[in-house]
């Protein structure tokens, strides 16, 4: 039997890395092929992740690049269909909620190929988010659901999915996190561009921002930068900038003050080296809410909602939206030490990949 593992954008790469590592180490009764859709293509958005996370070169590279949602999704679909027809897999594994996840699950399903969705069932309740559409559509046609937190299983059950297709396995991204933290601890890296910043600033905060709802509107983005400027008077901040955000800062003629150090997008390890020792993280990412919870670092999420509620209920995350005053108030609270304390959620133990692959081994041969 054969499975295709699909990755397309930056947040996919850290999720497939531990699955592939486990496939190479363990003995599983199927062969696998890695498909990179090319949704992210810049060296620092893609290649460095493959190198650092020890992901082998993809067997197929679809090279789709950027475009409107329809354009990008359509290109992935056309190219993925070709390889599925030529080299027919028994199962397609998709991870997360990016356009590549959606595109490949639809193609597989229509060709009668089983679909496994890793990180299934998450819902922000905000259908204006492109990722929410991707999650709902992918889950509506998947056969195997691998869930990171209880809310995921609850949503899938409420949507009528059979109980035995839902597997609460923990989180592959946390498998990767622990693996990479251990690697960094074994061999502290001095060559990262972030090392110098850490030496100069023993205490600091980290910012990431790329969600269209925050960065595509001039007023919203200006307000967030104002809030960050104020936070930076109490705590030096470092801000690796996503290409979308960079383009909009330029377009809107905004400036980032000196108290906030900006960098190009960082590699996974350079970024981990930074945030694992931060006093505070301010972000609108999905995954970083979880990685900070797993490491017990205070996280302020610049969004109105989260599809990862466990990070708020049990972890260190607070949801503050994009209102500048709230951002500043919550940052001060976190700095005073009165923020959420947090504990590590159930099954976020570094073994999700093993659980997923064991389940799939049984399932593929039971059919
Ligand atoms: C995508 C995901 C989002 C994820 C984010 C992480 C979807 C709908 N969104 O958003 O869930 O959190 O990745 O990074 O799939 N660009 C480059 N170089 C690249 C890739 C993109 O310059 O390697 C620029 C292009 O101008 C492009 C824009 O970034 O138009 C947006 O890229 P796209 O892949 O459409 O979405 P992201 O905003 O990266």
For residue 40, the CA-to-ligand 1 centroid distance in Å is 6
Assess whether 126 and 212 both reside in one domain.
no
For residue 338, the CA-to-ligand 1 centroid distance in Å is 35
Assess whether 114 and 183 both reside in one domain.
no
Of 243, 209, 193, 194, the closest CA to residue 42 belongs to 243
Expressed as residue numbers, the domain containing 26 is: 2-171+348-366
> In the structure, which protein residues have their CB atom closer than 6 angstroms to any atom of ligand 1?
9-11, 39-42, 45, 66, 72, 98-99, 130-131, 210, 242-244
Is 340 a member of any domain?
A: no
Is 235 a member of any domain?
A: yes
The CATH number of whichever domain residue 97 belongs to comes to 3.40.50.2000
* Long-range own/partner contacts, residues 344-347 (CB < 8 A, 24 or more apart): 344/293, 344/294, 344/296, 344/314, 344/315, 345/149, 345/293, 345/294, 345/310, 345/311, 345/314, 345/315, 346/150, 346/170, 347/168, 347/169, 347/170, 347/171
For residue 45, the CA-to-ligand 1 centroid distance in Å is 9
Is 343 a member of any domain?
A: no
Assess whether 138 and 187 both reside in one domain.
no
Q: Annotate 142-164 with b (16+ C-beta within 10 A) or e (fewer).
A: bbbbbbbbbbbbebbeeeebeee
Assess whether 17 and 135 both reside in one domain.
yes
Assess whether 37 and 146 both reside in one domain.
yes
Q: What CA–CA distance (Å, rounded) separates 285 from 179? A: 21
Assess whether 68 and 145 both reside in one domain.
yes
Assess whether 225 and 84 both reside in one domain.
no
Assess whether 164 and 68 both reside in one domain.
yes
Assess whether 124 and 188 both reside in one domain.
no
The protein residue whose alpha carbon is closest to atom 19 in ligand 1 is 40
For residue 15, the CA-to-ligand 1 centroid distance in Å is 17
* Long-range own/partner contacts, residues 66-75 (CB < 8 A, 24 or more apart): 66/39, 66/41, 69/99, 69/130, 72/39, 72/99, 72/103, 73/99, 73/102, 73/103, 74/103
Of 64, 58, 47, the closest CA to residue 20 belongs to 58
Assess whether 41 and 141 both reside in one domain.
yes
Active site residues: 210
The protein residue whose alpha carbon is closest to atom 33 in ligand 1 is 66
Mutation to probe ligand 1, out of 66, 214, 288 (largest number of atoms < 8 A from CB): 66
Is 341 a member of any domain?
A: no
Q: What CA–CA distance (Å, rounded) separates 203 from 116? A: 42
Is 139 a member of any domain?
A: yes
Assess whether 81 and 17 both reside in one domain.
yes
Assess whether 146 and 213 both reside in one domain.
no
Is 330 a member of any domain?
A: yes
Of 188, 66, 40, the closest CA to residue 48 belongs to 40
The protein residue whose alpha carbon is closest to atom 20 in ligand 1 is 40
Domain total in the chain: 2
Nearest atom within ligand 1 for CA of residue 96: 11
Q: What is the full per-residue pLDDT of the chain (367 aa) written as tens digits?
A: 999 999 999 999 999 999 999 999 988 999 999 999 999 999 989 999 999 999 999 999 999 999 999 999 999 999 999 999 999 999 999 999 999 999 999 999 999 999 999 999 999 999 999 999 999 999 999 999 999 999 999 999 999 999 999 999 999 999 999 999 999 999 877 778 888 999 999 999 999 999 999 999 999 999 999 999 999 999 999 999 999 999 999 999 999 999 899 999 999 999 999 999 999 999 999 999 999 999 999 999 999 999 999 999 999 999 999 999 999 999 999 999 876 678 999 999 999 999 999 999 999 988 6
For residue 208, the CA-to-ligand 1 centroid distance in Å is 14
Terminal Cα-to-Cα distance of the chain (whole angstroms): 11
The protein residue whose alpha carbon is closest to atom 2 in ligand 1 is 98
Is 342 a member of any domain?
A: no
Is 149 a member of any domain?
A: yes
Q: What CA–CA distance (Å, rounded) separates 83 from 5? A: 13
């Amino acid at each position: 039997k054969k499975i295709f593992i699909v990755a397309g954008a930056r947040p996919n790469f850290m999720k497939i890395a531990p699955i592939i590592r486990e496939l190479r180490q363990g003995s599983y009764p199927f062969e696998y092929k890695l498909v990179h859709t090319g949704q992210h293509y810049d060296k620092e958005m893609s290649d460095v992740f493959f190198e650092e996370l020890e992901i082998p070169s993809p067997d197929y590279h679809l090279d789709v690049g950027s475009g409107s949602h329809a354009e990008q999704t359509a290109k992935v679909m056309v190219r993925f269909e070709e390889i599925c027809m030529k080299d027919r897999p028994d199962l397609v594994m998709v991870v997360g909620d990016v356009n590549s996840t959606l595109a490949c699950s639809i193609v597989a399903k229509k060709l009668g190929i089983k679909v496994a969705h890793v990180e299934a069932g998450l819902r922000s309740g905000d259908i204006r988010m492109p990722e929410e559409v991707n999650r709902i559509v992918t889950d509506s046609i998947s056969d195997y659901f691998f869930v990171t937190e209880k809310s995921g299983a609850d949503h899938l059950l409420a949507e009528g999915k059979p109980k035995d297709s839902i597997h609460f396995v923990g989180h592959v991204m946390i498998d990767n996190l622990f693996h990479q933290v251990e690697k960094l601890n074994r061999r502290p890296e001095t060559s990262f561009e972030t090392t110098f910043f850490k030496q100069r600033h023993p205490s600091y905060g980290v910012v990431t921002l790329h969600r269209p709802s925050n960065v595509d509107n001039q007023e919203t983005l200006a307000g967030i930068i104002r809030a960050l400027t104020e936070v930076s008077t109490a705590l030096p901040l470092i801000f690796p900038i996503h290409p979308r955000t960079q383009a909009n800062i330029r377009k809107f003629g905004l400036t980032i003050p000196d108290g906030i150090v900006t960098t190009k997008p960082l590699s996974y390890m350079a970024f981990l080296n930074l945030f694992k020792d931060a006093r505070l993280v301010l972000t609108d990412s999905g995954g970083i809410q979880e990685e900070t919870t797993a490491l017990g670092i205070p996280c302020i999420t610049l969004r109105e909602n989260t599809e990862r509620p466990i990070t708020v209920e049990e972890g260190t995350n607070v949801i503050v939206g994009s209102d500048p005053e709230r951002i500043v108030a919550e940052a001060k609270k976190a700095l005073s030490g009165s923020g959420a304390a947090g504990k590590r959620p159930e099954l976020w133990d570094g073994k999700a990949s093993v659980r997923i692959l064991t389940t799939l081994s049984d399932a593929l041969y039971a059919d």
